[in-house]
Amino acid sequence: MSIEILMPALSPTMEEGTLARWLVREGDVVKAGQVIAEIETDKATMEFEAVDEGKVGRILVPEGTAGVKVNSPIAVLLDEGEDASSVAAQPSSAPPAAAQPSAAPPAVAQPAASGGEVPFPLGSKAAPAAAAAPAPASGWPHADLPEGAATKTMTVREALREAMAEEMRRDPTVFLMGEEVGEYQGAYKISQGLLDEFGPGRVIDTPITEHGFAGIAVGASWGGLRPILEFMTFNFAMQAMDHIVNSAAKTLYMSGGQMGSPIVFRGPNGAAARVAAQHSQDYAAWYAHVPGLKVCMPFSAADAKGLLKTAIRDPNPVVFLENEILYGRSFEVPADPDFTIPFGKASIWRAGTDVTLVSFGIGMTHAIAAADELAREGISAEIVNLRTLRPIDYDTVIASVMKTNRCVTVEEGFPVGAIGNHIAAVIMQRAFDHLDAPVLNCTGKDVPMPYAANLEKLALTTTAEIVSAVRQVTYR
């Protein structure tokens, strides 16, 4: 019986890939485990091994083909005794549609007993808001530059890399340290090429020793250097929490202003895809809690570049929270190498009149999707992209809420002690009389991240929840 070889998924986020090279030809006999092809994924070029043994009957997808969908047939393997003529030229079966579980699951109400955030139940007494003007298309996202300045398209990954490279060229005391940042070119390829340019003295591979190397980096910052410390992910920075908080954040104060810690702690934060409870936590609220730290959480590539450059130049310890899912997304970035974004300055990602959505980082993707959907219903949402969580640009938030009189916050982290809780408190203190409805917080659920695909979707903030929260505060 012949066996179809299907295009494999070779990373948690891959949907299609390029069949870069065949290492076997029709008629070759392959052993199980033999490398038969090279496939380019969204991250890397991977070797693809045969699972079964047999003779290669037909190659269905020639090498060099891009955009080959995961699970589509790429070759046919024959059993002993079969010959190629018994195999149809065209693949006999469509890729199995059933392979991917979970279509969008229905929303599930959170039981009150879980102690989580139950959306505030609102009456329908208030007057409906004025008919909404259609939301303007996403405008110039970085108010920090004059409109029309030259830009280039780049991914968040490239923006981060360029920010580090430019700052390392500019200041010889800046260096990068972390696990797999050098020879491996970065676990998520953020530091690709930096070892080649700056050498092993400035791009330094560490053993798996987060607590130790974080302490060493903080010490180095006291000794006159400016470390950029990459955590492979922020989940592993919990090993180093003591040095981030006790050593880096507090020393300037404890020394009466004599010695600060100019250091950047950066890496991916929050959920990726199906990596389960210990690899999926959003630490935004944790770090934002600590006086002495500055905290960035960029969304776009321009945010990433402009904020990282500011972070590297800042004389304080900066926690820089990136996101794996955003790494591959492209945005327009100002071409000016001197482009930076100041801390404590939010951007209005989209102007609107009926409700203010306050978000940051990956939460912005949900906020934008919700705003698109709301626009179709005639509700105009203004989106404030906070960008830095310490300091927070309260003024921009308050000004927007004074205009829209309603606010929904959006983030991925846990609901108790969330950034949105804090924003709501500040709005209550500074703009109470301007509110037409309570501020609602959309957050991740009050549970560790589950692995199962259907549960993971529910555990994260969903667009539907944001839309529903906006309907509540606008009494629709």
Partner 1 sequence: MARKPASAAAGTKAAALPNVSRDDLLKYYRDMLLIRRFEEKAGQLYGMGLIGGFCHLYIGQEAVVVGLEAAAEPGDKRITSYRDHGHMLACGMDPRGVMAELTGRIGGYSKGKGGSMHMFSKERHFYGGHGIVGAQVPLGAGLAFADRYLGNGRVTFTYFGDGAANQGQVYETYNMAELWDLPVVFVIENNQYAMGTSVKRSTKSVTLYGRGLAYGIPGEQVDGMDVLAVKAAGERAVAHCRAGKGPYILEVMTYRYRGHSMSDPAKYRTREEVEKMRSERDAIDHVRDLLLTGGHASEEDLKAIDREIKDIVNDAAEFARQSPEPPLEELWTDVYA
Which positions are annotated as active-site residues? 210, 279
**What is the closest distance, in whole angstroms, from the C-beta atom of residue 7 to partner 1 in the complex?**
8
Listed in sequence order, the DSSP H helices in 119-188 are: 156-170
**What is the closest distance, in whole angstroms, from the C-beta atom of residue 36 to partner 1 in the complex?**
13
CA distance 213 to 204: 11
By CB under 8 A, residue 189 contacts partner 1: no
Nearer to ligand TPP, 232 or 467 (CB): 232
Instruction: Pick one of ligand TPP, partner 1, none as the site partner of residue 429 (Cβ within 5 to 8 A by kind).
Output: none
Nearer to ligand TPP, 233 or 365 (CB): 233
Q: Which whole-number Å values give the CA distances from 93 to 66, 90, 115, 153, 270, in the listed order? A: 21, 9, 49, 39, 38
By CB under 8 A, residue 207 contacts partner 1: yes
By CB under 8 A, residue 458 contacts partner 1: yes
* Residues sharing a CB contact under 8 Å with residue 161, sequence separation 6 or more, in sequence order: 190, 191, 192, 193, 194
Listed in sequence order, the DSSP H helices in 103-232 are: 156-170, 194-198, 210-222
**Mask of contacts with ligand TPP, 124-163, x by CB under 6 A?**
----------------------------------------
> 364 and 385 in contact (C-beta within 8 Å)?
yes
* Residues sharing a CB contact under 8 Å with residue 66, sequence separation 6 or more, in sequence order: 18
- Considering only 43, 403, 430, 476, the residue that binds partner 1 (CB under 8 A) is 43
β 388-390/355-359 pair status: unpaired
Considering only residues 260 to 319 of the shown chain, the ones binding partner 1 according to CB under 8 A are: 272-279
Nearer to partner 1, 457 or 471 (CB): 457
Long-range contacts of range 136-142, CB-CB < 8 Å, 24 or more positions apart? Answer: 136/350, 136/351, 136/352, 137/350, 138/349, 138/350, 138/368, 139/350, 139/351, 141/300, 141/302, 141/331, 141/332, 141/347, 141/349, 141/385, 142/300, 142/302, 142/303, 142/306, 142/334, 142/341, 142/347
Considering only residues 201 to 240 of the shown chain, the ones binding ligand TPP according to CB under 6 A are: 208, 210, 232, 236, 239
**Candidates 92-100, 158-166, 388-396, 429-437; binding stretch for partner 1 (CB under 8 A):** 92-100
By CB under 6 A, residue 276 contacts ligand TPP: no
**Candidates 43-51, 320-328, 379-387, 436-444; binding stretch for partner 1 (CB under 8 A):** 43-51
- Considering only 65, 144, 165, 212, the residue that binds partner 1 (CB under 8 A) is 212
Per DSSP, the three-state class of 402 is: helix
By CB under 8 A, residue 150 contacts partner 1: no
CA distance 366 to 372: 10
Nearer to ligand TPP, 41 or 206 (CB): 206
CA distance 335 to 332: 9
**Mask of contacts with partner 1, 167-186, x by CB under 8 A?**
------------xx--xx--
- Considering only 51, 61, 143, 325, the residue that binds partner 1 (CB under 8 A) is 51
CA distance 360 to 386: 5
Per DSSP, the three-state class of 15 is: coil
Environment class of residue 195 by beta-carbon count within 10 Å: exposed (0-12), middle (13-18) or buried (19+)? buried
Size of the site for ligand TPP (CB under 6 A): 6
Instruction: Pick one of partner 1, ligand TPP, none as the site partner of residue 104 (Cβ within 5 to 8 A by kind).
Output: none
Which residues are at the interface with partner 1 (CB under 8 A)?
A: 6, 8-12, 14, 32-33, 35, 41, 43-47, 49, 51, 70-71, 96, 99-102, 105-106, 108, 110-111, 114, 179-180, 183-184, 187, 205, 207-209, 211-212, 235-236, 238-239, 272-279, 445-448, 450-455, 458-459
Query: Binding residues for ligand TPP, per CB under 6 A?
Result: 179, 208, 210, 232, 236, 239
